[in-house]
């Protein structure tokens, strides 16, 4: 069975230290929880560049194309009408909708991509929530969480205390 | 005193007042900023709520009247087929621009001072857009058919006409509303989590817990979050410009003297920011006093917003000048007449009001002392709101009432329904805002905390710029 | 709620709801008494039950059709086999005639499934030549007016026709005793030979009875003038087309007086080309005719006589010595003008024309007659004929005698068929008081009015479109008046009523008219029906087989043509007695000082009889554009002097009588004069006319029927809003309605070229030249007299709603074609241009590309089409329409209209819903009908075959419509005309409606 070891730190530097130390020990599944984005966290955890921009780009281009084709099909191809002597296919008039749909698609992709895809939301249940003290993670404290095999939990906890955690708690995997 | 400290002092002196007063720790910040939400309901809030509910009742009555009786319940006629309805629409949409502008463009420009006011401004944007969205629907002769503007394969076998600016509006407004909402909500998620954790009652914890989808401040989330947030800001920036550009097309693509002009897009956007900032000011000045936000919304914020108002105000004035010049330069008698008629015609008072509020009043903001004087700022911002409404009325109704053929000239007089739809919408807007202040964090906690940590790490001279973001 | 304040015409009010109830009772009553009137006649066609529908259908067709001959007593049977005359959905036209001041105006009425819905002029009729005017157009609305009087009552007792006949018979026996000494008839002027016979027979039975003729308007003065000049009353007819120079002495001969429809057409035919005529008008108020004048001389009404004498004097100087004794040189500027006019007239002997207005005293008419004779116009432009009216001397005199007898209690029975005598009678006759003294006051009227209210016998009159009768025009031409539908309500015609006094009330008007003309035409008497005692006993039963009657064909031809062939009379030879004329002129009173009060028949409601007609109420006055009321017209200078502005309520007083009237400042009105349109402010009126305007008759006395000095205007300090549809009469120096002097035209080519031809554009214009049809219109401003007939015709044709005064004040009137009037030059004495303006069907239509839902698009023939059921009502199209010709349904104007008014709707035209935009369609329904006919006939639509309602009604033929791809079409020629220009050409809208510059032909000597 698995377990999560959670350590609360007050300041960033010891936190990063602890993270690096544990990674050096070969603990890959680390995570940091903080009320606001920490600039050093990515580096400390050795995270790579986010791929969100590519998603946004693809969605945006798709949206723009959809917009233009929609207009071309409806007013120029499917049922062209003589409207005030304007040419049925008038590209300049199609720009606004094309642009708007591009933005719309990209924004939707980013928002729902983040929540659903990257964050795996909605998720109202997570081991870290088992610890009442963990509430401080969104208020004023910085937490380091380590996912380990149940029997290694205690040594890691010791280690974290040694590395300067204010308090440490262990969450065994729920049966 | 060491040179280092000295330089710090110099920098502070240069920077003027700080963006964040004192060195509060995060828990203190959290408690003070969440107190309006978690604290007990105040009597003043309830009274204000009831007052606004009255206005909303008036609004509803006007809406129902319009739907049952028809557009005839308004003062609109031929030639003035658009009047209060579209005036209110453009006015609200314009106001709705400040929010996105503050949170998006200033974010891109990494203006630290935006942090504490952006949530506030975004909320205002949402509610303003919501109010604006009402008019395009109810101003239709047959509002129950508004969806005919949306392209879908129907048995009519007729598609919308994408050469008209109105379908552009449909897409622009709906996109703008959606994106603003997403942007706003994305920003809310970490603070909703904070609320969940700071809340004392189980009920609140559950509600906010659901609303934040299970946010746990994980660094693995933060890194995507920051990029995504920045990208949304990047998308919103051209969006906000495009929206009012398209709104201005409603007039610019027509051939009516006073509407048919190419300067409208930039001039409308400037006007939108102008009125938007004025509205933020109008709401923020009382709010920061009543809710004790002085710590995070400092004189620096007021000062900067005042500067933006002054700048955009001047742009708007330039727009006026250019309109007048073109009216003369075009050599078209109807064109020239349209503008003379604004200044000398039967609607002269409204024109003069527009000039005073939009051109004269903002000039006081040249004086730094005035830019920090809350009373002055409040009055000026109110004046600008009024002035911008007048501007839209002058552009729309006054251009229409006297156009090419003198025999068909006419006058427009609003009915009580027109007034109800206008004043009532302001009450509805206020009501929504009141609820927002009570149930959601009006100041973005995580950004303020981030700002605090930056200030601690890099000293005060972080302001105004800072190193890389994300 | 603002909307609830407004009376939208036709919307069901509590009052009307009550009316329906009573109507149901009426139906029940008629059902109870078998066959007085055809079933279905009195039945409301509410939702038209199949039975009711067939009956209405059968009724009208049977009546209007060629053998439409049933006395009212006979039952109508729904036809089992549809008659050949009617194909459902195809309208049928029938010729008939309507009375104007007793003279005939020939009409052709379109009936859809037996419902008359549209009225046109009869081309074969001398008084119409195919043209019509707003009043004629609106007659059909009067027919369906829910406020019409129904049934017959005596002291409140409802009587069926049969019962009424018995009571009249009893009454007759009373009067037989003294030969009718205490019996009087107050009748309207008429030329009906049938009524003539009946009156003669009534007088044979009651030798001491008397028929008094009364009309508040009319041309009595003209006949009186003829009596002075020629010793006997004569009718004048004018050949305006032959006149090169016309002098109108306050005669509104283009819109009101004489055969104005023919005058307009003939006059307009001389307003273009090289043989252009020249019109001088001397008048106090700005009239339609004055608007067409090349030289308009504004002067107070009482000064016109003096001016006429000045012209006569100058004529004498110009070689017509005979006129010397009649002349009297004027003084000041007028002399110069008079001399120029005289020279002009004298230069056109036999080709000139002098007309005196109906409002001028007989002496002026006599002088005009003398001038015409001296100018040698008699026989060329002027023709004198014996009057066709039964009683030429219609005027206050006979009415005064009657009023005296009434007041003295000498009269027991007064039968009134003249319209609303109590309202129209001169105030000094106190007829209201006297009327009460009559035991039996019997009034036959179309709707309830003051006189009906005061009467003890109230008889509903049938509408002309429900009646049999006959009328003659001034030249004697006879027209048979035939009904198009059985009476909607229990009612009788004047013929039925008079017949009742000679015991023939049950014969029916049809038989009286038809048999009367059989006798007059010398046709053999009707053959007896085939054998059978029953048949012999009842010779009038037409449901039995009959021997062929040769008269049938003649009769049918008359009905089909609308005129009796060869019935026109010969002009008489006349010789003026200049001495008598001189004496008469000498007796003319010297114009009194102070402010002159002038009266005029209203352009819309005439003498007031059409007050209840909502179309006419909402029709803008041709000159002032005022709707829904009348006003006291003042010149700008006089108003300034009195410190008055338009809309001020003043107390208008004369000789101890006063009314409160709103002031309306009219450019070009004579100074120190106020003009009041008659007929408004009636004490008893229906939902439409209630409280509309003020009563001009209250100030009108028999000694000064038209003009009187010594009027006073006192400020009341109150104001009112006048519902004018055009608030701005200046063109602001823009090129909108162009007018040029005749000889300028050649030089103006370059200037005009800026307003026509190709405009630069980045869009490739669609090429319509390869299409079979390219519809277009041309409007000739030189011909347009601005009368508003087109507006009324369009309203009738296209189911255009009436919106009421409140909505007009909010600029929400719905007329698809409006007639703009612009004044040029000094406000005191301006020139004027009128410009009919409807959708011009731009090829590059600004309205189309802004519509978000493609509700207004272009047809392949170039029509700018409005798709009502697609419109969502953004009104963007109207904002972008530079001509502002689009109209919006701000309310549900057609929501639950009265059932009778539903019958009025033209089934070929969509009835628009609330929230929908609408506009001129070039009468696309008429184009479609022509297309169908062409396809059926396997041919192309003719170049001038399609005629929109406006063009068809226009008496001046100012509007032409047709196929621009056919060089032979009239419209193509007009588009190629040197005077052609496009309105707002600089916008590059490529309008399909072209305008032709108005030409003026001023006298160089007066330039």
Q: ipTM, 2 decimals?
A: 0.89
pLDDT (tens digit, 9 = 90+) per residue, B391-406? 999 999 999 999 999 9
pLDDT (tens digit, 9 = 90+) per residue, C264-292? 999 999 998 888 999 999 999 999 999 99
Cβ distance C766 to A83 less than 8 Å, yes or no, reads no
Residue B283: how many other CB atoms lie within 10 Å: 20
How close does chain C come to A95, measured CA to CA in Å?
A: 16
**What is the SS3 assignment for B300-362?**
HHHHHHHHHHHHHHHHHHHHHHHHHHHHHHHCCHHHHHHHHHHHHCCCHHHHHHHHHHHHHHH
Segment B401-423 shows an average pLDDT of 93
Cβ distance B219 to A56 less than 8 Å, yes or no, reads no
Segment B297-307 shows an average pLDDT of 87
Name the average pLDDT for chain C.
86
How close does chain C come to B312, measured CA to CA in Å?
A: 29
What residues in A contact B194, CB-CB < 8 Å? 35, 138-139
Q: What are phi and psi of C720, to 5 degrees?
A: -140, 160
Q: Which of B425, B452, B432, B417 is nearest to B90 (CA)?
A: B425
C616: which DSSP letter?
H
Segment A30-44 shows an average pLDDT of 87
Q: Are A95 and A64 in contact (CB under 8 A)?
A: no
pLDDT (tens digit, 9 = 90+) per residue, C757-786? 888 888 889 999 999 999 999 999 999 999
Name the average pLDDT for chain A.
88
pLDDT greater at residue C638 or residue C7: C638
pLDDT (tens digit, 9 = 90+) per residue, A132-147? 888 888 888 889 888 8
- Please say if the pLDDT value at position C368 is more than 50: yes
Provide the phi-psi class of B214: left if phi over 0, else alpha when psi is between -120 and 50, else beta: left
Cβ distance A85 to C844 less than 8 Å, yes or no, reads yes
How close does chain C come to A67, measured CA to CA in Å?
A: 17
pLDDT (tens digit, 9 = 90+) per residue, C814-856? 999 999 999 998 888 999 999 999 999 999 999 999 999 999 9
- What confidence tier does B21 reach under pLDDT thresholds 50, 70, 90? low
- What confidence tier does C86 reach under pLDDT thresholds 50, 70, 90? low
Cβ distance B76 to C875 less than 8 Å, yes or no, reads yes
Which pLDDT score is estimated for C598? Answer: 93
- Could you tell me how far CA B349 lies from the centroid of its own chain? 26
* Alpha carbons C656 and C433: distance in angstroms, whole number: 18
Which pLDDT score is estimated for C630? Answer: 93
- What confidence tier does C544 reach under pLDDT thresholds 50, 70, 90? low
- Please say if the pLDDT value at position A26 is more than 90: no
B407: which DSSP letter?
G
- Please say if the pLDDT value at position B304 is more than 50: yes
* Alpha carbons C417 and C613: distance in angstroms, whole number: 20
How close does chain A come to B152, measured CA to CA in Å?
A: 9
Q: What are phi and psi of A3, to 5 degrees?
A: -150, 160
Q: Which of C719, C715, C717 is nearest to C642 (CA)?
A: C715
Identify the closest residue of chain A to C989 by CA–CA distance.
Answer: A84
- Could you tell me how far CA C531 lies from the centroid of its own chain? 50
Cβ distance C845 to A81 less than 8 Å, yes or no, reads no
Cβ distance B175 to A108 less than 8 Å, yes or no, reads no
- Could you tell me how far CA C406 lies from the centroid of its own chain? 33
What residues in C contact B166, CB-CB < 8 Å? 850, 852, 874, 876
Segment A25-54 shows an average pLDDT of 87
Cβ distance B159 to A42 less than 8 Å, yes or no, reads no
Residue C652, SS3 per DSSP? strand
Which pLDDT score is estimated for C8? Answer: 44
pLDDT (tens digit, 9 = 90+) per residue, C369-393? 999 999 999 999 999 999 999 988 7
Q: Which of C359, C478, C485, C501 is nearest to C417 (CA)?
A: C501
**Inter-axis angle of helices B264-290 and B219-252, to 10 degrees?**
130
- Please say if the pLDDT value at position C540 is more than 60: no
* Alpha carbons C801 and C813: distance in angstroms, whole number: 9
- What confidence tier does C1 reach under pLDDT thresholds 50, 70, 90? very low
pLDDT (tens digit, 9 = 90+) per residue, B357-399? 999 999 999 999 999 888 999 999 999 999 999 999 999 999 9
Q: Which of residues 66-105 of A touch B (CB under 8 A)?
A: 67, 70-71, 74-75, 78-79, 81, 83-84, 86, 90, 93-94, 96-97, 99-101, 103-104
Which pLDDT score is estimated for C32? Answer: 38
Tokens of B113: 């001072």
Which pLDDT score is estimated for A175? Answer: 56
Which pLDDT score is estimated for C48? Answer: 42
* Percent with pLDDT over 70 in chain C: 89
Which pLDDT score is estimated for C372? Answer: 93
Residue C867, SS3 per DSSP? coil
Q: What are phi and psi of C543, to 5 degrees?
A: -80, 0
Which pLDDT score is estimated for C45? Answer: 39
Q: Are C667 and C729 in contact (CB under 8 A)?
A: yes
Segment C625-649 shows an average pLDDT of 93
How close does chain A come to C856, measured CA to CA in Å?
A: 8
Which pLDDT score is estimated for B14? Answer: 45
Segment B92-107 shows an average pLDDT of 84
Q: Which residues pair with C818 in a beta bridge?
A: C837
What residues in A contact C766, CB-CB < 8 Å? 82, 85
Cβ distance A38 to B219 less than 8 Å, yes or no, reads yes
- Please say if the pLDDT value at position C521 is more than 50: yes
- Please say if the pLDDT value at position B135 is more than 90: yes
- What confidence tier does C17 reach under pLDDT thresholds 50, 70, 90? very low
Identify the closest residue of chain A to B468 by CA–CA distance.
Answer: A39
pTM: 0.89
How close does chain C come to B412, measured CA to CA in Å?
A: 8
- What confidence tier does C2 reach under pLDDT thresholds 50, 70, 90? very low
Q: Which residues pair with C835 in a beta bridge?
A: C820
Which pLDDT score is estimated for B3? Answer: 52
Q: Which pairing describes strands C648-654 and C707-719: parallel, antiparallel, or unpaired?
A: antiparallel
For an interface test with C, the pick among B58, B61, B72, B79 (most C C-beta atoms closer than 10 Å) comes out as: B72
Q: Are C620 and C724 in contact (CB under 8 A)?
A: yes
Which candidate from A81, A85, A87 shows the least CB-CB separation from C854?
Answer: A81
What residues in A contact B248, CB-CB < 8 Å? none
C397: which DSSP letter?
H
Residue C715, SS3 per DSSP? strand
Segment B261-279 shows an average pLDDT of 91
- Please say if the pLDDT value at position C82 is more than 90: no
State the chains in contact with C (3 or more Cβ–Cβ pairs under 8 Å): A, B
* C146: exposed, middle or buried (Cβ count in 10 Å: 0-12, 13-18, 19+): buried
pLDDT (tens digit, 9 = 90+) per residue, C406-451? 999 899 999 999 999 999 999 988 899 899 889 999 999 999 999 9
């Amino acid at each position: 069975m698995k377990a999560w070891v959670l350590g609360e730190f007050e300041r960033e530097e010891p936190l990063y230290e602890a993270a690096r130390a544990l990674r050096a020990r070969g603990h890959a599944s680390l995570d940091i929880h903080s009320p606001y984005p920490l600039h050093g966290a990515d580096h400390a955890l050795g995270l790579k560049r986010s791929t969100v921009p590519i998603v946004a780009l693809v969605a945006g281009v798709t949206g723009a194309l959809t917009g233009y084709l929609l207009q071309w099909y409806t007013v120029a191809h499917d049922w062209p009408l003589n409207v005030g002597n304007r040419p049925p296919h008038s590209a300049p008039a199609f720009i606004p909708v094309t642009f708007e749909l591009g933005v719309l698609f990209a924004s939707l992709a980013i928002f729902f991509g983040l929540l659903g895809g990257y964050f795996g939301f909605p998720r109202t249940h997570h081991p870290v929530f088992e610890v009442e003290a963990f509430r401080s993670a969104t208020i004023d404290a910085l937490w380091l969480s380590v996912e380990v095999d149940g029997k290694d939990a205690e040594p890691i906890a010791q280690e974290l205390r040694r590395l300067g955690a204010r308090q440490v708690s262990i969450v065994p995997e729920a049966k | 005193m060491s040179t280092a400290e000295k330089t710090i002092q110099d920098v502070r002196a240069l920077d003027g007042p700080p963006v964040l007063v004192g060195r509060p720790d995060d828990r203190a910040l959290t408690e003070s900023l969440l107190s309006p939400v978690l604290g007990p309901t105040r009597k003043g809030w309830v009274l204000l709520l009831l007052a606004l509910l009255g206005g909303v009742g008036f609004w509803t009555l006007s809406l129902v009247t319009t739907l049952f009786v028809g557009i005839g319940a308004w003062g609109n006629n031929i030639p003035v087929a658009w009047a209060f309805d579209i005036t209110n629409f453009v006015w609200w949409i314009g106001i709705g621009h400040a929010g996105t502008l503050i949170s998006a463009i200033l974010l891109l420009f990494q203006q630290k001072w935006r942090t504490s006011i952006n949530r506030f401004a975004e909320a205002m944007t949402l509610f303003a857009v919501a109010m604006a969205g009402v008019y395009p629907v109810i101003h239709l002769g047959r509002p129950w058919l508004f969806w005919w503007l949306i392209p879908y394969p129907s048995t009519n076998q007729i598609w919308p006409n994408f050469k008209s600016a109105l379908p552009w509006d449909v897409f622009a407004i709906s996109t703008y509303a959606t994106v603003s909402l997403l942007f706003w909500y994305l920003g809310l998620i970490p603070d909703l989590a904070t609320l969940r954790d700071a809340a004392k009652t189980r009920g609140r914890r559950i509600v906010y817990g659901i609303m934040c989808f299970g946010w746990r401040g994980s660094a693995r989330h933060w890194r995507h979050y920051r990029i995504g947030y920045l990208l949304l800001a990047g998308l919103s920036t051209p969006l906000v410009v495009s929206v009012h550009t398209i709104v201005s097309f409603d007039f610019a693509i027509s051939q009516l003297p006073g509407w048919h002009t190419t300067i409208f897009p930039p001039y409308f956007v400037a006007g939108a920011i102008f009125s938007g900032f004025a509205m933020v000011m109008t709401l923020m000045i009382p709010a920061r006093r009543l809710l004790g936000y002085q710590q995070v919304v400092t004189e620096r914020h007021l000062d900067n917003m005042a500067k933006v108002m002054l700048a955009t105000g001047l742009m708007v004035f330039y727009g006026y000048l250019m309109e007048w010049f073109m009216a003369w330069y075009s050599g078209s008698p109807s064109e020239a007449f349209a503008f003379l008629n604004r200044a000398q015609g039967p609607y002269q008072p409204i024109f003069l009001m527009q000039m005073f509020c939009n051109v004269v009043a903002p000039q006081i903001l040249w004086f730094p002392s005035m830019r920090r004087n809350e009373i002055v700022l409040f009055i000026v911002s109110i004046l600008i709101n009024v002035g911008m409404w007048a501007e839209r009325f002058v552009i729309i109704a006054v251009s229409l009432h006297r156009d090419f053929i003198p025999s068909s000239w006419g006058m427009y007089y609003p009915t009580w329904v027109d007034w109800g739809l206008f004043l009532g919408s302001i009450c509805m807007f206020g009501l929504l805002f009141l609820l927002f202040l009570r149930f959601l964090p009006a100041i973005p906690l995580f950004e303020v905390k981030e700002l605090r940590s930056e200030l601690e790490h890099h000293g005060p001279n972080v302001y105004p710029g800072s190193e890389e973001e994300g | 709620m603002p909307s609830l304040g407004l009376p939208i015409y036709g919307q069901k009010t509590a009052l009307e709801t009550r009316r329906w109830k009573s109507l149901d009772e009426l139906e029940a009553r008629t059902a109870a008494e078998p066959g007085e009137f055809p079933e279905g006649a009195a039945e409301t066609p509410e939702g038209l039950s199949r039975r009711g529908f067939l009956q209405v259908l059968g009724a009208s067709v049977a009546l209007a059709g060629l053998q439409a001959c049933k006395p009212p007593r006979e039952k109508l049977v729904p036809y089992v086999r549809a008659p050949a005359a009617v194909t459902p959905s195809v309208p049928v036209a029938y010729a008939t005639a309507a009375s104007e001041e007793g003279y005939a105006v020939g009409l052709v009425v379109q009936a859809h499934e037996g419902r008359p819905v549209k009225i046109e002029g009869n081309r074969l009729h001398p008084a119409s030549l195919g043209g019509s005017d707003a009043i004629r157009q609106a007659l059909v609305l009067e027919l369906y007016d829910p406020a019409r009087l129904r049934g017959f009552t005596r002291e409140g007792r409802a009587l069926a026709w049969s019962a009424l006949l018995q009571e009249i018979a009893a009454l007759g026996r009373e009067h037989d005793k003294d030969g009718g000494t205490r019996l009087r008839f107050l009748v309207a002027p008429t030329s009906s030979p049938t009524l003539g016979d009946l009156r003669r027979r009534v007088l044979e039975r009651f030798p001491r009875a008397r028929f008094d003729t009364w009309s508040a308007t009319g041309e009595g003065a003209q006949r009186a003038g003829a009596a002075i000049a020629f010793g006997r009353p004569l009718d004048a007819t004018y050949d305006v087309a032959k006149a090169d120079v016309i002098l109108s002495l306050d005669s509104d001969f283009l819109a009101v007086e004489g055969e104005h429809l023919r005058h307009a057409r003939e006059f307009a035919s001389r307003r273009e080309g090289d043989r252009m005529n020249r019109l001088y008008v001397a008048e106090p108020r700005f009239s339609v005719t004055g608007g067409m004048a090349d030289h308009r001389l504004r002067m107070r009404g009482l000064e016109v006589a003096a001016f006429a004498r000045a012209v006569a004097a100058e004529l004498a100087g110009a070689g017509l010595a005979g006129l010397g004794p009649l002349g009297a040189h004027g003084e000041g500027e007028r002399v110069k003008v008079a001399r120029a006019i005289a020279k002009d007239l004298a230069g056109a002997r036999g080709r000139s024309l002098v007309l005196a207005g109906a409002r001028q005293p007989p002496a002026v008419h006599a002088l005009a007659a003398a001038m015409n004779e001296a100018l040698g116009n008699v026989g060329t432009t002027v023709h004198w004929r014996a009057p066709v009216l039964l009683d030429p001397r219609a005027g206050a005199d006979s009415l005064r005698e009657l009023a005296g007898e009434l007041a003295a209690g000498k009269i027991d029975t007064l039968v009134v068929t003249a319209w609303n005598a109590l309202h129209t009678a001169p105030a000094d006759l106190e007829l209201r008081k006297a009327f009460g003294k009559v035991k039996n006051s019997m009034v036959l009227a179309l709707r309830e009015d003051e006189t009906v209210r005061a009467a003890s016998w109230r008889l509903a009159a049938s509408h002309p479109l429900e009646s049999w009768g006959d009328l003659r025009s001034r030249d004697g031409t006879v027209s048979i008046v035939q009904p198009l539908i059985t009476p909607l309500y229990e009612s009788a015609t004047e013929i039925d009523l008079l017949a009742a006094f000679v015991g023939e009330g049950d014969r029916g008007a049809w038989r009286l008219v038809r048999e009367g003309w059989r006798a007059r035409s010398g046709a053999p008497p009707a053959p007896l029906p085939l054998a059978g005692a029953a048949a012999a006993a009842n010779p009038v039963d037409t449901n039995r087989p009959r021997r062929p009657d040769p008269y049938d064909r003649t009769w049918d031809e008359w009905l089909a043509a609308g005129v009796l062939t060869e019935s026109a009379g010969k002009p008489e030879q006349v010789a003026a007695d200049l001495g008598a004329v001189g004496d008469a002129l000498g007796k003319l009173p010297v114009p009194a000082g102070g402010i002159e009060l002038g009266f005029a028949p209203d352009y819309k409601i005439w003498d007031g009889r059409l007050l209840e007609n909502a179309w006419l109420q909402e029709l803008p006055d041709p000159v002032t554009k005022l709707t829904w009321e009348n006003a006291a017209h003042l010149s700008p200078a006089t108003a300034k002097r009195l410190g008055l502005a338009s809309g001020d309520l003043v107390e208008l007083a004369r000789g101890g009588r006063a009314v409160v009237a709103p002031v309306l400042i009219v450019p070009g009105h004579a100074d120190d004069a106020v003009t009041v349109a008659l007929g408004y402010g009636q004490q008893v009126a229906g939902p439409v006319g209630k409280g509309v305007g003020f009563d001009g008759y209250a100030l009108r006395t028999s000694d000064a029927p038209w003009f009187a000095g010594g009027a006073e205007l006192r400020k009341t300090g109150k104001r009112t809003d006048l519902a004018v549809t055009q608030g701005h009469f200046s063109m602001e120096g823009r090129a909108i309605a162009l007018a040029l002097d005749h000889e300028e035209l050649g030089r103006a080519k370059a200037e005009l070229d800026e307003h026509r031809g190709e405009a630069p554009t980045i869009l490739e214009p669609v090429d319509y030249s390869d299409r079979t049809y390219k519809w277009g219109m041309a409007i000739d401003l030189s011909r347009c007299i601005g009368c508003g007939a087109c507006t009324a015709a369009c309203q009738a044709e296209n189911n255009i709603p009436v919106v009421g005064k409140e909505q007009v004040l909010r600029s929400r009137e719905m007329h698809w074609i409006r007639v703009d009037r612009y004044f040029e030059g000094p406000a005191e004495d301006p020139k004027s241009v009128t410009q009919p303006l409807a959708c011009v069907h731009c090829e590059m239509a600004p309205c189309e590309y802004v519509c978000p839902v493609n509700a207004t698009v272009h047809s392949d023939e170039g029509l700018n089409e409005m798709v009502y059921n697609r419109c969502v009502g953004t009104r963007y199209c109207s904002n972008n329409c530079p001509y502002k010709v689009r109209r919006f349904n701000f309310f549900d104007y057609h929501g639950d209209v009265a059932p009778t008014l539903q019958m009025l709707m033209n089934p070929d035209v969509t009835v628009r819903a609330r929230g929908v935009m609408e506009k001129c369609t070039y009468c696309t329904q008429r184009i479609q009908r022509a297309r169908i006919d062409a396809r059926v006939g396997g041919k192309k639509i003719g170049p001038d075959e399609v005629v929109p309602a406006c063009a068809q009604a226009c008496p001046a033929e100012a509007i032409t419509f047709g196929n621009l791809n056919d060089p032979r079409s009239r419209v193509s020629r007009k588009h190629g005309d040197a005077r052609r220009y496009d309105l707002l050409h600089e916008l590059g809208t490529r309008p399909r409606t072209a305008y032709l510059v108005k030409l003026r032909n001023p006298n160089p000597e007066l330039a």
